[in-house]
Structure 1
Amino acid sequence: MGAGDGFRAPAAVISAGLLSVLGLSWFWSLLALLGVYLCSGGWRFLYVAACTIKRDLVGLCILLRVKFFMHHYIRMRSTVPSIFAQRVALHPDKAALVEESTGEVWSFSELDRRSNAVAQWAVAQGWRSGDVVAVFMESRPLMVALWLGLAKVGVEPALINFNLRRDSLMHCMGVSGARGMVFGAELLDAVLEVKESLSSLSLFCTGSSPVESLDSLSAQNLDDLLFYIYTSGTTGLPKAAIIVHSRYYRIASFGYYSFGLGPDDVVYCCLPLYHSAGNIVGVGQCVLHGLTVVIRRKFSASRFWDDCVKYNCTVVQYIGEICRYLLSQPVRPSESCHQVRVAMGNGLRPNVWEDFMKRFNIKRIGEFYGATECNCSLANMDNKVGACGFNSVILPSVYPIRLLRADEDSMELIRDSRGLCVPCKPGEPGIIVGRINPHDPLRRFDGYANQIQHRLNNLQIMIQRCQRMCLKMFKDIKVCVCEAVGCHCSCTLSYSSGVEGKAGMAAIVDVMNDFNCETFLRDVQNALPSYARPVFLRLSPEVDKTGTFKIQKTRLQKEGFDPRQTSDRLYFLHSRLARYESLTEELYSAIMQGKLSL
């Protein structure tokens, strides 16, 4: 509806009133009111309402259900561990977690006993409620027992990305303010690299702990902090997002109710447990709703459907390009004899959506959109192809979110002549915003750990690094620009195409013509995990800017790493030789034809 639609109803009422004064009956007055309303554009609203009312009612029921249970748990002063205890009491012998790599099955009582042992051990270390302990290990049931056991006594786990090394690892440790670290034996080498910097902390390698009873839980409620989950760092260094008990419940429960999950479902989780998709949307179905969750340490496209058949999975998780990777696999028998009915996640591209459902016979796609720390999210509750969610036209204030227009290059909000933000029309891309209400657990924003110190550390580290380079990785298709004040370098990120997956490209301004590829590679190896290192380099003598001094990101993105499109020096990271090689037209053709592996 347009900006003036809000005045049509009063105008219609006035018109009907005048007709009544003229002697017409109320029946004819109401009929006249309806006619005025329809003629003034009201038919559009009625049409949209008729098309969306079923979807909106389903969304409203889900929202009310989540709110009802959340307020119930608030009144009962419940927490994630205490809700889990209720699941243990209901079905102690039911399978809770399955470790795919070993086939080991933990029942709900077993997970409870192991997490109790962790809680007793944490108390024995002198850790108390409010202390922070880092958990640094690959995804497996033991990680769940660790954070759940620590949460039982109020100790706050910081879930560290197991791909991080050196500077990035130390940054995340410093931001959390952790007193200790529990790490997996598989990450011993990564810990040894920074052991001197961790000398003030208590370090523990995972092993067996005695099983002891836990008499009581630490006094907490849903507003208290459960653990920290780190952002991906697309706007700087990773930030430790605060996850309180109510946020954990909200994210997991919206997934459970929105996508029609039930207590008999078995969830296949191949996503990392250091992030919300795996640990909340996935494992949360076990902890809060009593489902069985199969945990795989790392995603494998070739083993995906075999695992689903082996463990009778009915729900699978995906993120980003996982569905496309599965479509790229050769046909195998297991992909047609599984019991999977729901795939839930985010980042499924519309152009592979229907192919994925058709080939693997998936009845429902549960696509959602949101950020770990955000107070608003969207969910595709009606299985509409290509949709990540909706905003009600009939009841827009029930779930107060808006999609606002933004400049696709700068990502700045577009404003009208009055300085107000401009709502998007249907089909337009934009930035989602949600109304913050600190008194509503569904609408509050909890922020990040040590926010002031984080900003200072972030600025200092970025300035130091930009003296030699300026690099920032971004996990979406759009390009991202990073400029450093006081430095002669800036970078733009784009992505290659024509090969499987994505590859980052850093465009670096080399004014002095003294860029050293070997030094750069050594720096990024120390600072970034393997998946975040740029595969391609583009060295330019100057920053190409528009008339308004904006960097020409679009042109760089279109030209990519094609040496025929630019006179800039181009390099690619040769995986076999482990060094940057000059990119010639012959090598470019070999890459595009798949003859040269990246």
Structure 2
Amino acid sequence: MTEFYQVVITALSLLLGGFLLTGSRRRIMYMLYKTLPRDILGAYRFLQVNILLWWWEKREYTVPKVFSKYAAAHPKKIAYIFEDKKWTYEELDHFSNRIGRYFRTRPFSQHDSIAVVMENCPEYIGTWLGLSKAGFVAALINTNLRHDMLLHSINAAGCKAIVFGSEFKDAIRDIKNKISDDIGLYQWSESADTPVLEEAIDLNTEMSSIDPGPLLVQLDYSSPRDKLIYVYTSGTTGMPKAAVINNLRYMLIACGVNSMLRIRSSDRIYNSLPLYHTAGGIIGAGQALLRGVTVVLRRRFSASKFWSDCIHYDCTVAQYIGEVCRFLLTIPPSQNDRKHKVRLMFGNGLRPQVWESFVKRFGIKQIGEFYGATEGNSNIVNINNKTGAVGFIPRYIGRLYPVALLKIDEKTGDLLRGTNGLCIPCEPGEPGIFVGKINPKKAINDFSGYADEKASEQKIIHNVFKKGDRVFNSGDILVMDELGYFYFKDRTGDTFRWRGENVATAEVEAVISNVIGFKDATVYGVEIPGNEGKAGMVAIYDTKNSLDLEGLGEALKKVLPSYARPRFVRILSELPMTGTFKLKKKDLQQDAFDIKKVKDPIYFLNNDTYVKLTDKYYNDIVEEKIRL
């Protein structure tokens, strides 16, 4: 019996039973009637994921083992397509075997971390996969990072070596004198005759004579709960954190989306997202590694090429983040808008204001919006096209999947607790912190944390539902409606999201302070009409009016990724402090860049230069005539 008929029969039974009830019971039956088809589908697919993970864990399967078994069974099937080159499973298996076997000859120990800094390409996936086959842990570094932030990310995971693409030679050269002499440098080049960075080892030459034969036969000692990779996340404060992704976590993220959204092995997925992030590198790339789905990779996202690529590569599924959808809507209409065969687009961050316009223009049958932190244990998926929803939990059996919204003080953001000292769950319509109960015995509810144990502990809340329990704090504020659908509302702490990237304000503040030599500079996110997320704004205390704005723009371009550079600068003549000598960042954030309200000088980033914000410029930004 198909999923559809099972749902129909159950729903009709409940509907007939509902007519025999009155009052609150009838209301409950009505709620079940409205949601049970969805809930049964979700529960059935969720059960499939759990059974698969249980099966793999029982047999000590890891991501490399699952991949190698599939590659052996389907050697000639296409795993990845990149710039018209097709990579079969056999070719990727051989490449990863060479990588793994070569690094086993180097002076590293099992579970050592090795940084990977490469552009999107099949070799990127083959590199970290090969390192994992050899018993090492790849740290997937954000390729936008430079100088101190790049150095910090390498050190945060305790990396013993750096594998980098030739396109990042300059970035590695900039930090070469600041890293330990024990950290080896290994350069991979698309062209074999590319000059190699001084003191780096040429991987192309070293791998040319390496045996591509099976590696797992020799190194069959890894466990499903062993670390697989590190994926970096900004967190709520401070520098980037190295989130631990073990094999089971990778399997859960990739297979969870696959099962919940019914991605088929015959599909082709278009993935133009960065492979160092969870969305592109796990949810996207993982479909090929674990589920036999062909994935089309792109070096970097291009709005003008998106649909033509989908048509050219015959894609039936595509990935997005909210910014991708907005950018696609800004492209002039063309015949490609509906010439493609994409039936499903999945991702996160698609706002309700964009959702319906996007679906209507491009004819997408299903949007699979999902929610979940990279390192977290609380993940939900929208499986039935509910506009704006990031997922759902059945209202009356929610404890089977232990996530919840907890009440907070809206002014301070602090958790509220009852007289018994426990946290207070939110009712429908009440915004709260989204949390997931930690249960180390279950892969789906475990929390592996970060490489930094102290940072891991800061994400855990104790004594939530009962004394002694623990939950993962997502740091996000969501709201649930009466039917159990969840909607993203905001982020707690100082982190904001811009251009699809998380920006930690403390991290940017530290960089700016070093550049300008001022002690008091605070960074926060502000909303700009027509843009997803929040743009960065910095308020700098400068009573002497001595700030070199031109120099600031040039310096920040060198040391900060584009998405982290503040779009606005406010020059403060006095510091807005609380009675306890804390800077009133919230007041600054509410003022934003409204020059009708703010008397301080405000500048905005225009072609890499900070320009004085006038009434005309302000109106042009608000009216979306100027895009930042």
Q: Is the shorter-chain TM-score for this pair beyond 0.5, marking a shared fold?
A: yes
Q: How does 1:31-50 map to 2 (within 5 A)?
A: 39=23, 41-50=24-33
User: Of residues 257, 271, 284 in structure 1, which corresponds to 2:273?
Assistant: 271
Contact 1:157 1:227 in 2 (8 A): yes
**Aligned partners of 1:480, 1:295: CA distance in 2, in Å?**
28
Q: Does 2:146 match 1:114? A: no
SS at match of 2:359: helix
Q: Does 2:422 match 1:420? A: yes
Contact 1:572 1:583 in 2 (8 A): yes
**Aligned partners of 1:509, 1:545: CA distance in 2, in Å?**
12
Measured after TM superposition, the shift of residue 560 of structure 1 is 2.6
- The one-letter amino acid of 1:128's match is S
Q: How does 1:92-491 map to 2 (within 5 A)?
A: 92-99=75-82, 102-200=83-181, 201-207=183-189, 208=204, 209-210=207-208, 212=211, 213-215=213-215, 216=217, 217-408=219-410, 410-452=412-454, 474-475=496-497, 489-491=520-522
Measured after TM superposition, the shift of residue 62 of structure 1 is 1.8
Measured after TM superposition, the shift of residue 557 of structure 1 is 3.8
Contact 1:405 1:422 in 2 (8 A): yes
Measured after TM superposition, the shift of residue 383 of structure 1 is 2.0
Instruction: Report the equivalent of 1:541.
Output: 573
**Aligned partners of 1:296, 1:250: CA distance in 2, in Å?**
24
Alpha-carbon displacement from aligned partner over 1:473-524 (angstroms, at most 9, x marks no partner): 621699997699xx96252413252466663211233356554435644653
Residues 202 and 455 (structure 1), Cα distance of their counterparts in 2 relative to 1, 3 Å cut: farther
Measured after TM superposition, the shift of residue 580 of structure 1 is 2.5
- The one-letter amino acid of 1:290's match is G
**Aligned partners of 1:57, 1:588: CA distance in 2, in Å?**
51
Q: How does 1:464-543 map to 2 (within 5 A)?
A: 474-475=496-497, 489-498=520-529, 503-510=535-542, 514-517=546-549, 520-521=552-553, 524-543=556-575
**Aligned partners of 1:386, 1:472: CA distance in 2, in Å?**
24
**Aligned partners of 1:549, 1:37: CA distance in 2, in Å?**
59
**Aligned partners of 1:328, 1:408: CA distance in 2, in Å?**
35
Measured after TM superposition, the shift of residue 238 of structure 1 is 0.7
Contact 1:473 1:532 in 2 (8 A): no
- The one-letter amino acid of 1:45's match is I
Deviates more, 1:542-551 or 1:273-282: 542-551
Q: Does 2:561 match 1:579? A: no
- The one-letter amino acid of 1:267's match is I
Residues 365 and 409 (structure 1), Cα distance of their counterparts in 2 relative to 1, 3 Å cut: farther
**Aligned partners of 2:414, 2:498: CA distance in 1, in Å?**
17
- The one-letter amino acid of 1:293's match is V
Instruction: Report the equivalent of 2:473.
Output: none
**Aligned partners of 1:308, 1:511: CA distance in 2, in Å?**
54
Contact 1:496 1:504 in 2 (8 A): no
**Aligned partners of 1:202, 1:58: CA distance in 2, in Å?**
50
- The one-letter amino acid of 1:584's match is T
**Aligned partners of 2:594, 2:29: CA distance in 1, in Å?**
52
Residues 455 and 521 (structure 1), Cα distance of their counterparts in 2 relative to 1, 3 Å cut: farther
What is the TM-score normalised by the length of structure 1? 0.84
Measured after TM superposition, the shift of residue 526 of structure 1 is 4.9
Measured after TM superposition, the shift of residue 325 of structure 1 is 1.2
Deviates more, 1:429-438 or 1:518-527: 518-527
Residues 204 and 351 (structure 1), Cα distance of their counterparts in 2 relative to 1, 3 Å cut: same
User: Of residues 54, 60, 84 in structure 2, which corresponds to 1:71?
Assistant: 54
Alpha-carbon displacement from aligned partner over 1:213-233 (angstroms, at most 9, x marks no partner): 134234111100001000035
User: Of residues 27, 37, 43 in structure 2, which corresponds to 1:60?
Assistant: 43
Alpha-carbon displacement from aligned partner over 1:92-116 (angstroms, at most 9, x marks no partner): 11110111xx311101111111111
SS at match of 2:496: coil
Q: Does 2:551 match 1:570? A: no
Instruction: Report the equivalent of 2:477.
Output: none
Aligned residue pairs total 544
Which residues of structure 1 form unaligned runs of 5+?
Answer: 1-33, 457-470
**Aligned partners of 2:108, 2:582: CA distance in 1, in Å?**
50
Q: Which structure: larger Rg?
A: 1
Residues 220 and 479 (structure 1), Cα distance of their counterparts in 2 relative to 1, 3 Å cut: closer
Measured after TM superposition, the shift of residue 585 of structure 1 is 2.9
- Over the matched positions of the two proteins, sequence identity in percent amounts to 41
What is the TM-score normalised by the length of structure 2? 0.80
Instruction: Report the equivalent of 2:467.
Output: none
Alpha-carbon displacement from aligned partner over 1:96-155 (angstroms, at most 9, x marks no partner): 0111xx311101111111111111111122333211110001111110000000010111
SS at match of 1:321: helix
Measured after TM superposition, the shift of residue 386 of structure 1 is 1.6
Measured after TM superposition, the shift of residue 552 of structure 1 is 5.0
Contact 1:243 1:446 in 2 (8 A): yes
Contact 1:438 1:445 in 2 (8 A): yes
Contact 1:308 1:338 in 2 (8 A): yes
Alpha-carbon displacement from aligned partner over 1:154-195 (angstroms, at most 9, x marks no partner): 110000000000010000011111110010111111111111
**Aligned partners of 1:193, 1:243: CA distance in 2, in Å?**
29
Contact 1:166 1:527 in 2 (8 A): yes
**Aligned partners of 2:556, 2:453: CA distance in 1, in Å?**
26
- The one-letter amino acid of 1:570's match is I
SS at match of 1:537: strand
**Aligned partners of 1:442, 1:506: CA distance in 2, in Å?**
39
Where is the strand percentage greater, Structure 1 or Structure 2?
A: 2
Instruction: Report the equivalent of 1:20.
Output: none
Residues 472 and 59 (structure 1), Cα distance of their counterparts in 2 relative to 1, 3 Å cut: closer
Deviates more, 1:421-430 or 1:358-367: 421-430
Alpha-carbon displacement from aligned partner over 1:383-424 (angstroms, at most 9, x marks no partner): 222211112222122101101233455432233455432322
